[in-house]
Amino acid sequence: MTVLVAYASKRGSTAEIAETVAATLRREGLGVCLERCEDVRNLDRYDAVVLGSAVYMKRWQGDARHFLKKHRKALRQKPFWVFSSGPVGDPAKDNPDWIEPPKLAEKVEDLGGKGHAVFGGCLPAEPKGMMEKAMVDGVPREYRDRRDWGEIRGWTKQIASELVAVPS
């Protein structure tokens, strides 16, 4: 079984999550191809897909949205999961409206997706531009990287156990 892990990452944090997903699937005995969304031409050679995107301003990255649209017919024929990354900051002050990019769950469900996870994000160590610098300055250091690697690996192991249980 070969799994495609495709991702759209603006500053590398989501790419690191995708790399961890791919490595975990490999450790679970699955074949894995890790690709940026924009580099995937078709899904013919894959048995399953994990798609991830960074979220900015409550939206997935354009490459990930385009991937869902471009490959919608193929995705309907395969097991697939999605993840979003992005929330940072003090959990006591987090905005619960962020948790799910609008309409994403509906699109994934319509295509037959098996699940959607939201993982904490990471602010850039070297912010670029006034907006990024202001965002980083406004978040205490202890809340700038909210990625929970144990949670990410656990979610991925659940995917692997579902895929291993599926007869080929």
pTM, whole model, 2 decimals? 0.89
159 token code pair:
């995917």
For 151, other C-beta atoms within 10 Å of its C-beta total: 12
Of residues 100 and 73, more confidence is placed in 73
Which helix (H) or strand (E) is 159 found in, with range?
Answer: helix 149-165
Q: Closest Cα to residue 55, out of 84, 26, 83, 75?
A: 84
CATH assignment at residue 147: 3.40.50.360
Domain that holds residue 9: 2-163
28-55 residue pLDDT tens? 999 999 999 999 999 999 999 999 999 8
Structural domain tally of the chain? 1
First to last CA, the chain: 8
Q: Is residue 168 part of a domain?
A: no
23 found inside a domain: yes
pLDDT surpasses 80 at 87: no
In a domain, residue 16? The reply is yes
**C-alpha span between 68 and 149 (Å, rounded):** 25
State pLDDT tens for residues 109-148.
Answer: 899 999 899 898 887 777 788 877 887 787 778 877 889 9
